Structure 1
Amino acid sequence: MSVQVQFLPDNVTVEAEAGEPLLEVAARAGITIPTGCLMGSCHACEVELADGTAICACISAVPTGEKELQINLYGDPLW
């Protein structure tokens, strides 16, 4: 099932498949999400979903059962 993934604030949209890793989807869209540990511990890759939930992109995938996914990228001043 295809999911439309929109990356904000750049308003870049790309089609993805449910279960596809978010970092791969972002890279295909030309979006760079900073990474550190790649295990979700350092939170360098933290992004925010439309509902305000913070997730680590390095350990997250496109969810099943969704037609659209909005991801808000923000810069962490500590990185």
Structure 2
Amino acid sequence: MSVQVQFLPDDVTATAEVGEPLLDVAKRAGIDIPTGCLMGSCHACEVELDGQAICSCISAVPPGKDKITIDLYIDPTW
């Protein structure tokens, strides 16, 4: 099942498959999400998925939705 993934604040949209890693979707869309540990511990890759904070390095496109919104933000302390 295809899902439209919208990346904010730049309003870039990519088509992804359920279960596809979010970092792969972002890379394909030309979006750079900073990473650190790649295990979800350091939170360098933290984004908001439909308003909920998640670590994108350990997250995938969830099932059950036709469209999701990823809000990127920069942590000035990282």
Alignment of 1:1-79 (within 5 A): 1-50=1-50, 52-79=51-78
Which TM-score applies when normalising by structure 1? 0.97
- Indicate the percent of aligned positions where both proteins have the same amino acid: 76
Secondary structure of the corresponding residue to residue 13 of structure 2: strand
Deviation string 1:12-51 (CA, Å, 9 cap, x unpaired) is 000000000000000000000000000000000000122x
Output the aligned Cα RMSD.
0.5
AA aligned opposite 1:12: V
Q: Measure the CA separation in 2 of the matches of 1:59 and 1:3.
A: 18
Q: Measure the CA separation in 2 of the matches of 1:58 and 1:29.
A: 16
Displaced runs of 4 or more, over 4 A = none
Which TM-score applies when normalising by structure 2? 0.98
Residues paired across the two proteins, number? 78
**Unaligned runs of at least 5 residues, structure 1:** none
**Unaligned runs of at least 5 residues, structure 2:** none
